[in-house]
Structure formats: C-alpha cells, structure tokens
Structure 1
Amino acid sequence: MSLVSKIEDIEAEIKRTQVNKATMAHLCGLRAKLAKYKRELMEPSSGGGGGPGAGFDVRSTGDARIGFIGFPSVGKSTLLTSLTDVVSEAAAYEFTTLTCIPGIKFWRGAKIQLLDLPGIIEGAKDGKGRGKQVIAVAKTCSCIIIVLDAMKPLGHKRIIEAELEGVGIRLNKQPPNIIVKKKERGGLNIASSVPLTYLDNDSIAVILKEYRIVSADVRINCDATADDLIDVIEGNRIYMPCVYALNKIDSITMEELDILDAVPHYCPISSYYKWNLDGLMDKVFEYLHMTRVYTKPKGQMPDYSAPVILRGSAEPTVEMFCKKIHRTLINDFKYGWVWGKSVKHNPGRVGKAHVLMDEDVIQIVKKI
C-alpha cells in the first residue's frame, strides 16, 4: 500500500471515530502515525532526478523573504509586477507561472524579497502538481502572503491552510510550550502546569510509544492538543506569520467587503488597480516584527540612509543589534548611547540587554 493510501485510510478512520474519553488514546495514536507518514511522503526520494525544478532554486537575499501562495489565476503575478519592477507573466488562463519568479521591494528602509510561486492545487502536500517544489520554497520564507480571489469561495483559504499544515508549516501560531526530554531509563514522568482538556496520561504515552519513546520527562505548560505534542516530538515544524491578501476587491460591493472584514489577518487589495498595496506591505512589516535602528558614528550625524533591520523579535535588544553588525562586536561592547523612544533621556546610556524601539539611533562604545 502506498503512503498516500495509508494517509487516506488513517484520515478516514479519524473522521469516523467518535471523540470521547474512551477513544482519546486511539485517536492520538492515529494522529501520530499520520504525522509520521506525512513526513515520509515529503522527504526527498533517494533516487536521482526529480529535483526542485528549474527556477525554484532562488538565492535568499535582503532582510526578509515573502512568498505568494494561492490557487491559479488569483492575481499573484500581477501583484508581484505591481509591487516591483519585475514583470511576471499574467494571463487569463491558469498555471501561467510555472517557476518561481523573484522580485525586490524596498519598504520603510528594509529590502524585502518577494517570490511569485506557481499556483497550488488541492493535494499539493501529497505531491500533486508542483506542490512539493512550491512548499519547499515556502518553508524558506520569513512570511507567507496567501492570495485569495474575492470572487471565489473562501473555502479556498481553508484548503491552502490544510495543505501547509499538512507539511508542518504553522501559520500565525507560536510553538507550544511543551518540553520532552528523553531518558535512557525510568519510564515516563508526565507533569502539567495547567489542566489538560485534550490530552491525558494514556494518550500522551500512546503518542510517545509511536515514536519509540518509553522513558522521558514531559512537561506541558499549555492546554495542548495531540497535534501540539506531535509537533514538539517531530521537531521540524516551521512557525511563520501569514497575511491573507484578498485580491480583486474592485469586483465586489462594499457590503460584501464588510462581510469579509471578519476574516482574521486579512488585507483587501486590488493588484490590477494597485489599491491598498501600501497597506499590505505595512501589515507584512508589522507581522515580521521589523525594527529599524540607525547607527551614529562618534562625532558624526546619524546615518538615516541605511537602517539596520532587526527582525523576528518583539523585543530586540542591543545585543541582537551588535550581532547583526558583526558576531564579534558584542565581545568588545562596553555600553551604548541611544536616542529615541526606548530611553527616557536623549541620549540614554544603555547596556546590551536594553530593548530597542523602531527608529532608535545608537552609538556603540567599545572597550579600550
């Protein structure tokens, strides 16, 4: 039996199994098997050939990498052309884009790489179409923009989410606060700091047994699900921000747009008429937690032409800034002078643990 058939059988059994305390452990075991089969399905084959395909191996550049994902003919190519100087072919037929088309967008001092990926189809996680290549590139992105057609059903959103979830990409989520520490002996020691709604000791043991873990210390600090525990054990999940670009809003009424406003993490745009593209880029900038920090050499004016971009942390520190400049700079760091919103007095003397804010100016003083 092929892996795809095994996956379909397990998914069917999960759907027809009634959820209650008596079946909790059985369902958890099925979910663990399902996760293992999906991982095996996405792993590259050992034989030659079947590489990523022409145009898919694009070197990462800039401060962040954004991938456009969506069904065919939703306007991804037009969006790339509207945002950058790159002309990505767009036509009235599906699958116009067959490779990965890169472009560069400079926004608020940051250099952002945009990738127009071929249209995804249902079953991409199982290797249909060019799903494996598209998903492989998506995993290298800092953020994903899922482009949706306002004229088509919102069910497409759920299909794309399911495809990405199926290959270990978690959208707009934080890693679960779970610690699994393997031991050579001593059995399972399970502890939780909060009441568990979706798991019990038996179901946790079943999941661990599926991964051949018979002795471990398990500490759960959140109301975790079976999928959360499996994600921690697998250890290869990718957590990234996602913005839903609702395209072609020029084709719908204001009443319909008000209804769609209830969709979380969404931004209405028209890539053809270039409506609200600035709002889309601002939202991406916000979701990436980008902080611009300007440098000031001693005795000179600050350099406002090229900010240092600190990304991925809601609380970027002076130490992170130093490491972004050069990994050895923190070893020579004595203190810093900061001008901006993060200090009470301008300038303020700070240490390496000081949290910087957007558009701060910093001067580093080195050890003598």
Structure 2
Amino acid sequence: MARTQKNKATEHHLGLLKARIAKLRTQLLEPAGKSGGKGEGFDVARYGDARVALIGFPSVGKSTLLSEVTETKSDAAAYEFTTLTCIPGVIHYKDSKIQLLDLPGIIEGAAEGKGRGRQVIAVAKSADVILMVLDASKGDIQKKLLEKELETVGLRLNQSPPQISFKKKKTGGITFNNTVPLSHLDEKTVMNVY
C-alpha cells in the first residue's frame, strides 16, 4: 500500500484495502473464541441499564473502587496483577442498575497484545462508559499512556461520534453527508459498499 501511487484511479482501491485492514485489526482485538482454550472471566453477560468499565494500569485501585461502590468482593493486594479476570459488580442508583466491570490492569503495549491487553480492550469496547482509574502519585504520565493505548485501538475518548448519514435518492444513487472530516472513508468507497 505504501508503494501504491496515490491518485484518483487508485484512491478507491486504497480505501478498500484500508477497510480490510481495519476489519482484520478488529478481529485481532476480539478475545479468542471457544477454540482458544479457557479464556475464563472475560465473557461477562451484559446486565442492567448501563455498563461501565474500570480500566487502568495495575495496582491503581480498580478493585478497591469496585468493592467500595458495589456489594461485590474483588480481591486487592499490595502486588500487581491481583485481578486476572473481569469481575462484574452492580450499582443500584434510584431505579436503575449499572454494571461495573473491574478489568485486569493493562500494560504499555496492550493494543499490540502484550499481557491480556486485547481481551481487556475488547471488553472495554463493549462498555457504555470507560472510567480510567489512575494513580495520583504518577502525575499525568499514566493518563497520557492510557489514552494512547485506547486511541490506538480506535476508542474515541471525550469526543462525539461522527454523524454520517446516507439517503437514497429518488432518481437513483445515494446522498452522503458527514459532520466531521473523514480520514478513512470517502464517497466513492461508500457508493461501492452500498
């Protein structure tokens, strides 16, 4: 792809290749299926009105927070990687139930699959809200590293999702509108897929 000359004739082809790469990257981030061994603890059934994932580096207080705000007991110890699976808890607030997920700590390079990074991030992607738990004594470094890991896998932090709309024309074809500049999608690619 890097050696392909970029012009109007190859633009469509490059868009299709980028779409395939994105699809394959997404498949890599999915946790291993039943054929991949035990993989225990990461397939947590969705429960309640909302799902919040606690994500952060090891030993920052995710398990302690879960134990304090829910009735779930999550082991916390003075050493890293105490939590090895996803531990769910439920917060009852007024008439709603909010599922809180205590995820294992991720390490730098989790987006590339280090540790159990792919499994942790796949669970975080299924959440309605991602709550980053940080160690206050480490300063802003942890936040920047965690944001970088999450943005690498396509999670848009503190941003509105792009509004893209398609309308079928009466005369044939479609109308394509977007509210933000798109980096990986163009009208020609959409026409081909649609």
Band the TM-score falls in, shorter-chain normalisation: 0.7 to 0.9
CA distance, structure 1, for counterparts of residue 132 and residue 57 of structure 2: 9
List aligned pairs for 1:156-195, cutoff 5 A: 156-179=142-165
Q: Distance in 1 between matches of 2:38 and 2:140?
A: 30
Residues 38 and 167 of structure 1 are in contact (CA less than 8 Å); yes or no, is this contact kept in structure 2?
Answer: no
Partner of 1:42: 26
Report the Cα offset of residue 115 of structure 1: 0.7
Give the structure with the larger strand fraction.
Answer: 1
What do the CA deviations read for 1:311-354 (whole angstroms, capped 9, x no partner)?
xxxxxxxxxxxxxxxxxxxxxxxxxxxxxxxxxxxxxxxxxxxx
Higher relative contact order (CA 8 A, sep 6+): 2
Matching residue of 1:219:
177
Alignment CA distance shift 1:34-1:89 (3 Å): farther
- The equivalent residue for 1:53 is 39
Contact 2:163 2:180 in 1 (8 A): no
How much does 1:111 deviate? 1.1
| Cα gap change, 1:181 to 1:101, in 2 (>3 Å) | same
Q: Is the 8 A contact 1:38 1:166 kept in 2?
A: no
**CA gap 1:43/1:159 in 2 versus in 1, 3 angstroms:** same
Instruction: Select 1:92's aligned residue among 46, 61, 78.
Output: 78
Unmatched tracts of structure 1, length 5 or more: 1-5, 11-22, 187-214, 235-368
Show the 5 A alignment for 1:1-368.
Answer: 36-43=20-27, 49-50=35-36, 53-179=39-165, 217-220=175-178, 222-226=179-183, 229=185
Residue 36 of structure 1 and its aligned partner are, at CA, apart by 4.5
2-structure distance, mates of 1:91, 1:122: 21
CA RMSD of aligned residues (A): 3.6
Distance 1:32 1:162 in 2: 26
Identity %: 52
Cα distance change, pair 35–89 in 1 and its aligned pair in 2 (3 A):
farther
Deviation at 1:223, TM superposition (A): 4.3
Larger radius of gyration: 1
| 2:64 alignment partner, SS class | helix
* Cα-to-partner distance string for 1:250-306 (whole Å, 9 max, x where unaligned): xxxxxxxxxxxxxxxxxxxxxxxxxxxxxxxxxxxxxxxxxxxxxxxxxxxxxxxxx
In 2, Cα distance between equivalents of 1:83 and 1:137: 20
Find the residue that maps to 2:137 and give its secondary structure.
coil
1:89 aligned partner, one-letter code: D
Contact 1:83–1:105 (CA<8 Å) still a contact in 2? yes
Secondary structure of 2:144 counterpart:
helix
Q: Deviations over 1:115-166 (max 9, x none)?
A: 1000112222222211111122112212111111111131322222232223
Gaps of 5+ in 2: none
Report the secondary structure of 1:49's partner residue: helix
